[in-house]
Amino acid sequence: MYSQDFLAVVDDPPVAGAAGAPEACWTLLIVDDDEDVHHATEFALADLRVIGRPLEFLHAFTADEAIRILEGRRDVAVVLLDVVMEGEDAGLKAVECIRNELRLSALRIILRTGQPGYAPELEAIANFDINDYKTKTELTRGKLFTTVTAAIRSYEQIRRLEASRSGLELIIAGVSGFNAEQGLEVFASAVIAQLATLLGVPADGIFCLRSERDQAGAGGGTVGQPAVLAAAGRFLLTANKPLTALPDPKVVEVIESCLREGRSQHNGHSLALYFSGRQGGDFAVYVESTAALPDIENHLLDVFCSNVAICSENVALVERLRTAAYVDDLTRLPNRVAQIEEIDRLGKVSRSPDRVLGLIDIDEFSETIDAFGYLFGDRQLQAVAARLRAALPADVHLARVGGDIFGVYGSRDVVNPASLRSILVEPFENEAGPHTISFSIGFASGAEADDRGAELQRNAAIALKRAKLSGPGNDAYYTAEVGMLTRQRVHLLHDLRAALDNDQLFVVYQPQFDLASGTICGIEALVRWRSGTGEAVPLDQFIPVAEQSGLIVDLGAWVLRVALAAQRELADHGHPLRMAVNVSPIQFRHHEFLRMVRAAVADAAIDARLLELEITESVALFGWAQTVERMRAIKALGASIAIDDFGTGFSSLSYLARLPTDCVKIDRSFVAALGNLHSGTPIAELVIQLGRQLGMRVLAEGVENPLQLQTLRSLGCHEGQGMVFAPPMAQDELLRWLRGREP
């Protein structure tokens, strides 16, 4: 019955397969209880080729047998299904099972019946997803050709759509699995794995990066040369090596061509996808298979490439954020956070009582910047970092943990004062020539902090502060006692803040006398602190704490306001005396200092000529030009300036001669030593003579007895203060004392 109307089907040319490989076929299942129908159908379609492939025939004689075949063969394209077999509706039940239970949605079903009276209703055809219905008498050979060809083409289109959908779902699932926080290498490995999954081949692949700048972990290749960032399968051992190190020159050529031409490369057994990065780095992903790679739609590859490109930008962003979070931009060393995490990591791997953290601080670094500028300071930091990195073993962790502080964590054999100072002792070169740098170093043992990074950093910082209290160039180790003293200082700072806020601080005033006439010529304001328990807190305990914490700025401003208010009251009672107020170097350097002085003078409505600010000679380390400029501004206001504690610090006769000062004060330690020819009298005499030659007043403080007073008078000292004259007094007590001296 199939001898009529032969139809020549014009189709796509066949696709040549590999030599000896079986030719791909379209599978067609014939389901009919009449064996002659099977033979006739197979004979009629034997020569048919659709999209270059011939047909493969499967046979079933009952609906149940057809279902069993389809359960095992999911690649059937078309079923020619008889309606009436073991039952009147056996064919329809088979269709229902195929669609609803086997879920074969792409399979094309063509119903055939030799009994038109048993034809299903149109509603049944629609409900059961039947693709075509013919009576056996309708299906001449030509029409059978046409019907099967159309069904196979429809099946192939649906299969491609399903493959695209599956591919898209796979890409979306894979993208969600890319974790940018895990870094570039993990991302690269995931890209190889996902591309292989998308192609349905083993993950034999390479992720190759070409960057304008060298990439960490890229094998240390030349900048601009491709390097293997990640590899899998048979290429696994090539990871973190230059691309040219691959043993297969054909693979190298494919990847290099992909990167050079800026486009993907594809042949039967390999695929190299090109990606252009927006941060100056291009990369290629190469996957190969021993069997021919399956066809994959171009739009799927486009979607894959687009998603990978977006994810790569996210990874690059995270890498930059990670660098910003963990790497010091100036020295390119790890920062404090990175060192803490490294200490924690090593502590989890193994506990070692031998590990030590050393914090190296450049002495007087802020003063260096003030004197020479930030660029000089940056170069100094880079030079120190470079020398330490070059000299320290690779297993010693070096970091820049603060502005001018470097952290060195490693074995006690290396991290100790002698070893570190031997590295740093030689002068550092700069544009002005060799420059020697002084360092203070604090050490803390990992054992005392259980190798916990944050605690070890705190302990080393405590030791460093301890070292700096002894002056520049010193070392100190953290001990439990040092920790206890530091905690006491922290509690003291907390109490001092509370005292300033709760009016527990007060000011006392000590008169200053003209030694020649014996008359009072001024008053010095002195801050005092009485705790809540009524105990006096020594000045030498809380002032250093205030200076180190910066609280001295607020404390000094408060003292100045209180002292000038007291001076206003004294003047109103007929005692317009000079008021001397101490100024800390930190307070003097503060950018609001001059504004604060002007405001205090204006608020108290005093004559600025009655104000004398006492500063120490160390303010000159602030930077000579800045110091002189600020002192001249004070003089322009009308106030006078005294150099306090001259001779106890960084004394320099040139400083004293060049600074615009009015008075120099002899420290109480030299006054107490008067009569000692080796330390006291010669120094006091020298200061007095120097002051007189420079046209300055000379004031001796801490004059305790008549012998000291007589000696100072004989040396020509101008003024003095101390217990031999009067003790420090509260404001109301001072006012009564002044009234008692009135004639």
pLDDT digits (tens, 9 = 90+) for 5-19: 333 333 444 444 444
Average pLDDT over residues 465-487: 82
CA atoms lying within 13 Å on the CB side of residue 474:
12
Among 63-77, 334-348, 631-645, 646-660, whose mean pLDDT is lowest?
646-660
Specify whether domain 336-478 bears CATH 3.50.50.60: no
What span, in angstroms and rounded, lies between the C-alpha atoms of 630 and 17?
Answer: 91
| pLDDT digit string, tens, across residues 75-89 | 898 999 888 888 777
Greatest distance between any 2 Cα atoms in the chain: 151
What span, in angstroms and rounded, lies between the C-alpha atoms of 255 and 265?
Answer: 8
Residue 272, phi then psi, degrees to nearest 5: -120, 115
Closest CA to 113 of 138, 140, 142, 146: 138
Residue 457's Cβ-count burial label (10 Å; 0-12, 13-18, 19+) is buried
Average pLDDT over residues 144-164: 78
CA atoms lying within 13 Å on the CB side of residue 237:
5
The reported pLDDT for the residue numbered 313 is 65
- Beta strands 355-362 and 405-411: pairing type? antiparallel
What span, in angstroms and rounded, lies between the C-alpha atoms of 33 and 88?
Answer: 12
Highest mean pLDDT (candidates 112-116, 143-147, 322-326): 143-147
Domain range list for the chain:
26-166, 178-326, 336-478, 499-740
| pLDDT digit string, tens, across residues 414-432 | 999 999 999 999 988 877 6
| pLDDT digit string, tens, across residues 669-688 | 888 888 665 555 677 888 88
The reported pLDDT for the residue numbered 622 is 64
pLDDT band at 319 (very low <50, low <70, confident <90, very high): low
Residue 182, phi then psi, degrees to nearest 5: -80, -10
What span, in angstroms and rounded, lies between the C-alpha atoms of 79 and 65?
Answer: 13
The reported pLDDT for the residue numbered 189 is 73
Entry pTM? 0.48
**Radius of gyration in angstroms for the set of CA atoms belonging to the chain, rounded to a whole number:** 46
pLDDT band at 120 (very low <50, low <70, confident <90, very high): low
Q: What kind and span of H or E run contains 524?
A: strand 520-529
| pLDDT digit string, tens, across residues 577-619 | 999 999 998 899 888 999 999 999 999 999 999 999 999 877 7
Q: Which residues contact 490 (CB under 8 A, 6 or more apart)?
A: none
- Beta bridge partners, 398, equal 408
| pLDDT digit string, tens, across residues 40-71 | 888 888 888 888 889 999 999 998 999 999 99
C-alpha distance from residue 297 to each of 77, 157, 162, 165, 202 (Å): 20, 12, 12, 11, 19
The reported pLDDT for the residue numbered 596 is 95
Higher-confidence residue: 346 or 513?
513
- Beta bridge partners, 264, equal none
- The fold for domain 499-740 equals TIM Barrel (3.20.20)
What span, in angstroms and rounded, lies between the C-alpha atoms of 520 and 518?
Answer: 7
- Beta strands 663-666 and 281-288: pairing type? unpaired
Average pLDDT over residues 231-235: 84
- The answer, yes or no, to whether residue 651 has pLDDT greater than 60, is no
Average pLDDT over residues 232-256: 85
What span, in angstroms and rounded, lies between the C-alpha atoms of 555 and 439?
Answer: 30
- The answer, yes or no, to whether residue 211 has pLDDT greater than 80, is no
SS (H, E, C) 32-75: CCCHHHHHHHHHHHCCCCECCECEEEEEECCHHHHHHHHHHCCC
- The answer, yes or no, to whether residue 490 has pLDDT greater than 60, is yes
The reported pLDDT for the residue numbered 702 is 92
- The answer, yes or no, to whether residue 228 has pLDDT greater than 80, is yes
- Beta bridge partners, 697, equal 663
The reported pLDDT for the residue numbered 165 is 62
Looking at domain 178-326, its CATH class is: alpha beta
SS (H, E, C) 417-441: HHHHHHHHCCCEEECCEEECCCEEE
The reported pLDDT for the residue numbered 95 is 87
The reported pLDDT for the residue numbered 180 is 45
- The fold for domain 26-166 equals Rossmann fold (3.40.50)
| Residue 47: alpha-carbon gap to chain centroid | 69
Burial 552-566 (b: 16+ CB within 10 A, else e): bbebbbebbbbbbbb
Closest CA to 569 of 555, 557, 579: 579
Say if residues 526 and 510 touch (Cβ distance below 8 Å). yes
Average pLDDT over residues 299-303: 63
| Residue 676: alpha-carbon gap to chain centroid | 60
Residue 509, phi then psi, degrees to nearest 5: -130, 130
Average pLDDT over residues 210-236: 63
Q: Which residues contact 595 (CB under 8 A, 6 or more apart)?
A: none
- The answer, yes or no, to whether residue 479 has pLDDT greater than 70, is yes
The reported pLDDT for the residue numbered 215 is 41
Beta-carbon neighbour count of residue 401 at 10 Å?
A: 25
The reported pLDDT for the residue numbered 8 is 34
To the nearest 5 percent, what fractions of the chain are helix, strand and coil?
Answer: 50, 20, 30
Q: What kind and span of H or E run contains 581?
A: strand 578-582
Say if residues 665 and 642 touch (Cβ distance below 8 Å). yes
The reported pLDDT for the residue numbered 315 is 64
What span, in angstroms and rounded, lies between the C-alpha atoms of 254 and 274?
Answer: 11
Q: Which residues contact 536 (CB under 8 A, 6 or more apart)?
A: 528, 529, 530
| pLDDT digit string, tens, across residues 687-713 | 888 888 889 999 999 999 999 999 999
What span, in angstroms and rounded, lies between the C-alpha atoms of 224 and 238?
Answer: 18
The overall average pLDDT reported for the chain is 81
Closest CA to 511 of 608, 611, 607, 579: 579
Average pLDDT over residues 240-263: 86
